[in-house]
Amino acid sequence: MNAPVVIMGVAGCGKSSFAAALSHALDWQLIEGDEFHPTENVNKMRACIALTDEDRAGWLDVLANELVQRGPHAVLTCSALKKAYRDRLRQSVQGLLFVHLDLTREQSIARVTQRPGHYFQPALVDSQFAALEKPINESGVITVDATQSIETIQAQVCAWLQAKECV
């Protein structure tokens, strides 16, 4: 089984840091989902306006296309907060896998506050938790504690991927 991996979770969970480490360790391509947000979405987040399903729809389509173009050895960062968002990505890529980096609201706020200059504002964290539909009992998903070290998370995820014969 060869399938790309989506690193998902709320803001501040460490998607970008972990995806960079995992893609480097596996020698897979990294797709930083935030780089594909249209200017309108970025401007809304800078203004502390939460994105809607409609705002995310085009972005998810672009990300799905990126996954198809890059092939099975890719790691994508995408919040993928709702099951419908994950299903949209799954429609484009058979066997798509997800790593859910889980943390609390308080931990998310603390981490987001420490990212000065990032367009995602701490005031938006609550909207992420309101939208989050945890991927409980979804096939092809592993949930890990995002407060662990990147090395610990990487060991867990690599073992999971090896068990699925992805690496």
The predicted model scores a pTM of 0.94
Please, which pLDDT band fits residue 167 given cuts at 50, 70 and 90? low
Domain of 126 in residue numbering reads as 5-163
Name the percent of the chain lying above pLDDT 90: 80
Structurally, the chain folds into a number of domains equal to 1
Q: In whole angstroms, give the CA distance from residue 51 to residue 28.
A: 29
Name the percent of the chain lying above pLDDT 70: 98
**Residue 95 corresponds to which tokens in the numbers above?**
């066997």
CATH number at 152 reads 3.40.50.300
- For position 1, what pLDDT does the model report? 54
Q: In whole angstroms, give the CA distance from residue 139 to residue 90.
A: 11
- For position 61, what pLDDT does the model report? 97
Residue 118 has pLDDT above 80, yes or no: no
pLDDT tens across 65-117, in order?
A: 999 999 999 999 999 999 999 999 999 999 999 999 999 999 999 998 887 77
Q: In whole angstroms, give the CA distance from residue 143 to residue 99.
A: 6
Q: How is 103-114 classified by DSSP, letter by letter?
A: --HHHHHHHHHT
